[in-house]
């Protein structure tokens, strides 16, 4: 590998050049005004995980149906691993059909597409669907809960313990606002999630020709234009809880509210946090996936001496609007031989914010480089003789 360039950039210069510096001020003179009547809260940037606002963020407390964030995570994990597919038929046990609380009234012995069960969990927080998928993935809800706790540990959630897959009241079950933000941020990396999270009202069709109307429990998708996903929860013990996400331009934020006194309080608190985050923070483009780097990479045994390269994806640096962090970019070229096809990974670029690595992006060929023939080598030698 060859390190080609190190570029140090002032983010204030980048921001001014792109016209993103703003005189916008916080809508709140005091950050304590961001939430109302809740026990715990957390707001962070989705891409970097950087915290914007926190309030009792590691306090352990019940989170009710917000625990289904992990239930859904394991569903998508099973799909990604190939263990299940969205089209797989899931059989409903008597235990699953008999679950109380929020449900879609699954019928014992019938089979439902996994996609429909996932949809019902995301949209209307169906407990019966949670148990049905848990039994399909692990054989029992108890085995599934063990997987939930293992996955939480893998994500670094040190203040979380699950006792069931639904969030119904049970001893020794808790989480915290920070951990929920970590788990929810991981869940929404699955693009499939957003196919269901924005559904407001829909009919859930049963195999026996019954229909159950399902309505989204996350009222923010109607109350807050930028919101496109979330998970609510409520029990008398947990109070009103909400994990939600909103996106404006290139910036996605994640908010968590736990233990609110009312449903309105949780939604209002989330909206206040989103407003504060969008008004005071910005994602600046450091690498544009559609723009070639100035650097060109040498290709051995090629008809071309060098090729243009570009980032495989865009990269952003998250910071307060009035902040001026120092950005450093290290470009590393791999040893590459022809033939090279457009889109092949040929190197990587590391992005540092204030000396800390914040992103690593693959670099791909922006053009083909065919393998040189004997004739090409002969022509090259011949040109050398004539010089």
- Helix, strand or coil, per DSSP, at residue 121: helix
68 is catalytic: yes
Distance CA 109, CA 104 (A): 15
b/e code 37-76 from CB counts within 10 Å (16+ = b): bbbbbbbbbbbeeeebbbbbbebebbbbbbbbbbbbbbbb
Confirm whether 26 is a catalytic residue.
Answer: no
Across the range 128-144, mean pLDDT stands at 98
Q: What is the pLDDT of residues 48-68, one digit of tens each?
A: 999 999 999 999 999 999 999
The percentage of the chain sitting over the pLDDT mark of 90, rounded to a whole number, equals 85
| pTM for this predicted structure | 0.86
Output the six-digit token pair for 59. 């306090």
Q: Which residues pair with 212 in a beta bridge?
A: 204
Is the confidence at residue 265, as pLDDT, over 60?
A: yes
Read off the pLDDT of residues 9-49 as tens digits, 9 standing for 90 and up. Answer: 544 334 333 333 233 333 443 455 799 999 999 999 999 99
CB 244 within 8 A of CB 43: no
Residues 378 and 3: their CA atoms lie apart, in Å, by: 31
Q: What are the phi and psi torsion angles at 153 (to 5°)?
A: -65, -40
For residue 230, what are the CA distances in angstroms to 181, 188, 290, 385?
11, 9, 31, 70
Domains and CATH numbers, the chain: 2-18+286-374 (2.60.410.10), 38-260 (3.40.710.10)
- Cα dihedral 13, 14, 17, 21 sign: negative
Interval 161-172 mean pLDDT = 95
Find the catalytic residue in 39, 68, 119, 231: 68
Helices (H), 293-339: none
Rounded to a whole number of angstroms, the distance between the first and last alpha carbons of the chain is 32
Q: Does position 86 have pLDDT exceeding 80, yes or no?
A: yes
Catalytic residue, chosen from 40, 65, 136, 315, is 65
Catalytic status, residue 125 = yes
Separation between Cα atoms, residue 167 and residue 63, nearest integer Å = 7
pLDDT at 376 over 80: no
Q: Residues 102, 115, 120, 125: which is the catalytic one?
A: 125
> What are the pLDDT digits (tens) for 329-338?
999 999 999 9
């Amino acid at each position: 590998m060859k390190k080609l360039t190190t570029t140090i950039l002032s983010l204030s210069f980048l921001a001014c050049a792109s016209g993103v510096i703003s005189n916008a001020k916080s809508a709140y003179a005091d950050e304590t005004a961001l939430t109302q009547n809740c026990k715990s809260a957390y707001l962070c940037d989705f891409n970097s995980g950087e915290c914007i606002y926190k309030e009792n963020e590691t306090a352990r407390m019940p989170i009710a149906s917000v625990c289904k964030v992990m239930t859904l995570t394991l569903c998508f994990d099973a799909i990604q691993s190939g263990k299940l597919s969205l089209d797989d038929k899931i059989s409903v046990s008597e235990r699953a059909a008999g679950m109380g609380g929020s449900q879609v009234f699954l019928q014992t012995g019938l089979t439902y597409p996994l996609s429909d069960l996932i949809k019902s969990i995301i949209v209307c927080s169906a407990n019966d669907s949670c148990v049905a998928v848990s039994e399909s993935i692990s054989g029992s809800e108890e085995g599934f809960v063990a997987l939930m706790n293992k996955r939480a540990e893998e994500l670094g959630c040190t203040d979380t313990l699950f006792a069931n897959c639904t969030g119904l009241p049970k001893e020794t079950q808790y989480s915290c606002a920070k951990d929920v933000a970590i788990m929810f941020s991981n869940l929404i990396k699955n693009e499939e999630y957003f196919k269901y999270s924005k559904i407001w009202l829909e009919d859930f069709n049963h195999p026996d020709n019954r229909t159950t109307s399902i309505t989204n429990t996350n009222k923010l998708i109607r109350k807050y234009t930028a919101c496109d996903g979330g998970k609510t929860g409520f029990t008398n013990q947990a109070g009103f809880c909400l994990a939600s996400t909103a996106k404006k331009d290139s910036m996605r934020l994640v908010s968590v509210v736990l233990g609110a006194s009312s449903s309105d309080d949780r939604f209002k608190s989330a909206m206040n946090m989103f407003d504060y985050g969008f008004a005071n923070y910005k994602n600046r483009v450091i690498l544009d996936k559609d723009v070639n780097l100035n650097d060109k990479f040498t290709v051995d045994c090629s008809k071309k001496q060098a090729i243009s390269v570009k980032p495989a994806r865009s990269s952003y640096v998250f910071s307060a609007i009035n902040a001026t962090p120092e950005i450093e970019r290290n470009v590393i070229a791999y040893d590459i031989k022809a033939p090279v096809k457009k889109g092949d990974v040929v190197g990587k670029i590391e992005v540092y914010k204030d000396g800390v690595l914040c992103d690593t992006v693959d670099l791909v060929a922006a053009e083909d480089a065919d393998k040189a023939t004997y004739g090409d080598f002969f022509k090259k030698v011949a040109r050398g003789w004539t010089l």
